[in-house]
Structure 1
Amino acid sequence: MSAVLCVALRPLLTRYALARPNARSSHSIPTPQGGGIAVLAGAFLALGPGLLLGPLPAGAQNDLLLVGAAAILLAIVGAWDDIRPLPASLRLVLQAACVGLVVVYAAPGLRLFPGLMPLVLERALALLAGIWFVNLVNFMDGIDWITIAGIVPLTGALALAGQAGALDLGSGWLAAALCGGLIGFAPFNKPRARLFLGDVGSLPIGLLTAYLLYRLAGSGAFAAALILPLYHLCDATLTLLRRLARGEKIWEAHRSHLYQQATTNGFSVLGIVTRIAILNLVLIALAALSLRIPGLWGQLACLAVALLLTAALLRAFARPKATHG
């Protein structure tokens, strides 16, 4: 359904939502954006019959309906921003409202640190983390196929976790639907892309992914929830900190991410996303291992290995490719 919608919507998006290249762009020719509409619509159309006919309890159905509604609202914000850019302050407020809806109402009983901090502090931290994750997925969607390389393995792993009982079944279904929507979009976004996600896609995809990882962490798999998105998390966070240290306006477009630096350091776009996809497959294996090793130290060891591998790839992207021999 996602692929069919990409074909159907592309002429309309070419007319009304064309992304024209500028000094900070990674593309060189005008390309339609808004493929996220097809991803979300395909995912929700696939998920709908399961919600109506499947064996999910009423509480799980309500949670999915709420997170779906929040994602649609955020997609509307993204579509608005794609066509007529919003002020950064208004965009942040609207994002916070959508994330807050998910944190407070779509996972009302979920606690990560019940013995360490009061509920209000934990909810505030979850809100901040959710806003950051929504934005980092948007920031990381800067070259062809990078969101496919990052989010498809992650959601595929979460779908399998739902079937295996490591994640609740409703979240597993949502992960499978989102994974399928992105796979349907992938042929249109392969280098060189004929269609971009746009903010209408990257923002709600970030929200849905953050929600899924939040549910995974709430099941006791906190280390796995950190390991799975580690490349996107590290690249975006390190870039933000470097830009803050240089006194840059962090809400403005830029080409400072390490995956963007890699394109100027001699890596092809396909080479970059292939390396990220391979790393993400290894991270999935480490996340699965962390679920099987009892005790805190085993989980920390898996997280440490994941950090070392991620750091190695980031370092490789930061150096000219010729120096690798």
Structure 2
Amino acid sequence: MIANPAAILGVVALLAAVICAVVILLLRPVLQRYALARPNARSSHTIPTPQGAGIAVIGATLVVGGAFASVWGFAPLVMLFIAVPMLALVGLVDDIRPIPVLPRFILQGLAVGLVVFTAPDDLRLFPVPLVLERTLLLIAGLWFVNLVNFMDGLDLMTVAEAVPITATLALVGISGWLPWPIAAIAAALGGAMLGFAPFNRPVAKVFLGDVGSLPIGLLLGWCLLHLAWQGFVAAALLLPLYYLVDATFTLLRRMARREPFWAAHRTHFYQRATDNGFTVAGVVGEVFALNIALAVLASVSIALRSMAADAILLVIGLGAVAFVLRRFSRPRSRGA
């Protein structure tokens, strides 16, 4: 039994936030010189902006989260702590000099596979052969890592997504329904994102870059997978539901139109919203409010532990996401 887990996770988040902010301050001149993101037709920013602050976010998460989690058992983190830096390195190289699609995808698959295929055999979701389940999880993990990357296209967007998810996971850990190492990593990631937030608020002074968004996707996916392995599958779907629906629907729509779905574009709902008259702050604010509502639904699902309730909560969650996506896809009327 951990004494005062809420206070410990609060310290984890605070330390990660401070370390992240300090590292960003130290790194920013270097990023300004070597990792400048210049605007193009698909960008949401209009001035050259340094990218690569994800180095600080990931570093603070691994250092602080790992230090606290390892006190109660480091074993679940070993492969994660290999895979996350590997994915960050792929993102860093891609930020500086873009990697072709196929090699980038293979490297991402190696990182995700390390986490998925080395998990204990007794962690199961479905009554199917283990190798089939783990292969499906590899595909899902690859998609989740990339969709977090795809959705990191507006100032504070990833903060608005990651903070409600990680805060909920930390609270579940405090309640004893999620293993401590996972709760500690979630708290550290949430704190690091808060440390990053002041530098990324509109108009952003620095971006995460792929060095941040890709491993953040892996960390979030790993935490959510463990939540599902604890029996809370509906909650694990509800927490990232906005990202899942926006990114997946956009991908399917582009594939149906025979567009190069792997190429950068501006057709996600949150991007269309800014083209339809929404401000960046307005879009991110609505996404954050939606994610708070989804976190509440996920918490209710965990508390009730009922398949019937899960079905109802998922329908409510999908309805809330559909409402926001519909708003984003239509021109904003004056006074709205």
Tell me if both proteins adopt one fold, taking TM over 0.5 as the criterion: yes
Aligned partner of 2:90 in structure 1 is 77
Percent identity (aligned): 53
Runs of 4+ residues deviating >4 angstroms:
none
- Among 251, 256, 261, the alignment partner of 1:240 is 251
**In structure 1, C-alpha distance between the alignment counterparts of 2:226 and 2:45, rounded to whole Å:** 36
Corresponding position of 1:321: 332
Mapped contact 2:65–2:188 kept (Cα < 8 A): yes
Aligned twin of 1:50: 68
Indicate conservation of the 8 Å contact 1:263/1:269, yes or no: yes
Distance 2:168 2:121 in 1: 24
Output one character per residue of 1:236-257: Cα deviation in whole Å (capped at 9) or x when no partner: 0010000000101111110000
Match of 2:80 among 49, 67, 76: 67
Cα distance 1:51–1:158, how it changes in 2: closer, same or farther (>3 A)?
closer
Mark the runs of 5 or more structure 1 residues left unpaired by the alignment.
Answer: none
Distance (Å, rounded) in 2 between the aligned partners of 1:107 and 1:182: 29
Q: Kindly report the root-mean-square deviation, in angstroms, between the aligned alpha carbons of the 2 structures.
A: 1.2
Give distance in 2, aligned partners of 1:217 and 1:44.
Answer: 22
TM-superposed CA distance for 1:282, in Å, is 0.6
- 8 Å CA contact 1:235–1:257 kept in 2: the answer is yes
Q: Which has the higher mean CA deviation after the structures are superposed, 39-48 or 221-230? A: 39-48
CA distance, structure 1, for counterparts of residue 257 and residue 236 of structure 2: 31
Out of 152, 156, 166, the position equivalent to 2:167 is 156
Contact 2:66 2:185 in 1 (8 A): no
Corresponding residue for residue 29 of structure 1: 47
Structure 2 residue identity aligned to 1:98: A
Aligned length: 318
User: Which aligned pairs between 1:82-93 and structure 2 lie closer than 5 A?
Assistant: 82-93=95-106
In the aligned structure 2, how far is the partner of 1:148 from the partner of 1:49?
Answer: 23
The alpha carbon displacement at 1:43 in A equals: 1.4
Paired residue for 1:110? 123
* 2:165 alignment partner, SS class: helix
TM-score, normalising length from structure 1?
A: 0.96
1:107 shift after superposition: 4.8
Distance 2:115 2:168 in 1: 22
Residues of 1 paired with 2:210 and 2:279: CA distance?
A: 24
After TM superposition, the structure 1 stretch with the greater mean CA deviation from structure 2, 284-293 or 131-140, is 284-293
Q: What's the CA shift for 1:295?
A: 2.6
SS in 2 for 1:193: coil
Partner of 2:185: 174
Note the C-alpha offset of 1:48.
3.7
Could you tell me which residue of structure 2 aligns to residue 290 of structure 1? 301
Structure 2 CA distance for aligned equivalents of residues 257 and 80 of structure 1: 25
Query: Which stretch of the first structure deviates more once superposed, 15-24 or 285-294?
Result: 285-294
Write the deviation string for residues 173-194 of structure 1: whole angstroms up to 9, x where unpaired: 0000111111111000001000
Supply the distance in 2 between the matched residues of 1:147 and 1:324 (Cα, whole angstroms).
27
In structure 2, how many angstroms separate the alpha carbons of the residues matched to 1:18 and 1:263? 23
2:110 aligns to what?
A: 97
Q: Superposed, which structure 2 residues align to 1:273-284 within 5 Å?
A: 273-284=284-295
